């Protein structure tokens, strides 16, 4: 923005181009920074479900959240994620609520069955 002082004592402000910028800023939706978003408080169930979702993705059962397309199965990564859930189960044994324990048991049973189906080890 350029300013010029005239001989009469008033200021002339050149706003050409500024109006277009302001219009563009108003038209573009403001993206909220990740830090400003309110996310739910993490808990044990969220952690377990997140690991389960990762395993299902690696099994090629759930779609990639960015593309919506199912990914190629990667049985090694699926097995590793299932093993992580098993380690978590072992390390938390006796420290979980009945609901958390049931979630862990159900998730591991489901993941193991799906892994066997996908790997062809069940036939």
Domain ranges of the chain: 44-119
3-state secondary structure at position 48: helix
Q: Is the pLDDT of residue 34 over 70?
A: no
Residues near 48 by beta carbon (within 8 Å), at least 6 away in sequence = 85, 88, 100, 103, 104, 107
Q: pTM score, two decimals?
A: 0.66
pLDDT in tens, 95-115: 999 999 999 999 999 999 999
pLDDT in tens, 36-50: 778 888 999 999 999
């Amino acid at each position: 923005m350029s300013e010029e002082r005239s001989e009469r004592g008033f200021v002339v402000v050149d706003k050409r181009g500024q109006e277009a910028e302001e219009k563009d800023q108003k038209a573009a939706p403001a993206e909220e920074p990740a830090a400003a978003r309110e996310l739910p408080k993490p808990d044990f169930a969220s952690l377990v479900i997140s690991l389960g979702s990762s395993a299902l993705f690696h099994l090629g059962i759930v779609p990639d959240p960015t593309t919506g397309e199912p990914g190629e199965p990667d049985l090694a990564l699926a097995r590793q994620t299932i093993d992580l859930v098993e380690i978590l189960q072992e390390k938390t044994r006796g420290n979980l609520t009945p609901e958390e324990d049931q979630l862990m048991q159900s998730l591991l049973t489901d993941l193991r069955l799906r892994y066997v189906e996908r790997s062809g080890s069940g036939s």
